[in-house]
Amino acid sequence: MSLKTPSPSSEHATVTISFRAPVELAGRLDKLAEGDQRNRANFILRVMTALASATEPLVKDGVFYLKAFHDCHKKSPVDRETEFWRGKVAGWKRTLVTAYGATIAEQIILRASKVAISHMDF
């Protein structure tokens, strides 16, 4: 991967990132990008931006699941609805690990936890 660092004075500075990828992966990315009406580079940029954003849908989903679980747990720790939301949280975490790997998943989970905790009444 090559990286050209822009001058830090520019507010909208950009960086050129290039890397090698298997042809099969590039083909699959092209199909995904086409379904999203983008080219491959724009699709990769959108995905990377979403992963780095604190307001990405994955974080928002986690905040929703965590808040719902904790609200139910506060009412009744062993209620059926509490267990439902516990399962949603667990499934969300497992899906993140499968899709993004443990390190990125942990970062997403921690961001969601931080936001959820800041919006809870204790």
* Interval 14-40: pLDDT, tens: 888 888 989 999 999 899 889 888 888
> Which one has a higher pLDDT value, 12 or 55?
12
Q: Which residue has the tokens 């050129």?
A: 16
Q: What pLDDT does residue 16 have?
A: 84
pLDDT in tens, 35-80: 888 888 888 888 888 777 756 888 999 999 999 999 999 999 999 9
For the entire predicted model, the pTM comes to 0.67
Q: What pLDDT does residue 37 have?
A: 86
Two tokens at 91? 């499934």
C-alpha angle 21/99/80, rounded to 5°? 175
> Which one has a higher pLDDT value, 89 or 38?
89
Distance, in Å, from the CA atom of 92 to the CA atom of 118, rounded to the nearest integer, reads 20
Q: What pLDDT does residue 115 have?
A: 92
Q: Which of 100, 23, 18 is CA-nearest to residue 59?
A: 100
Residue 6 has pLDDT above 60, yes or no: no
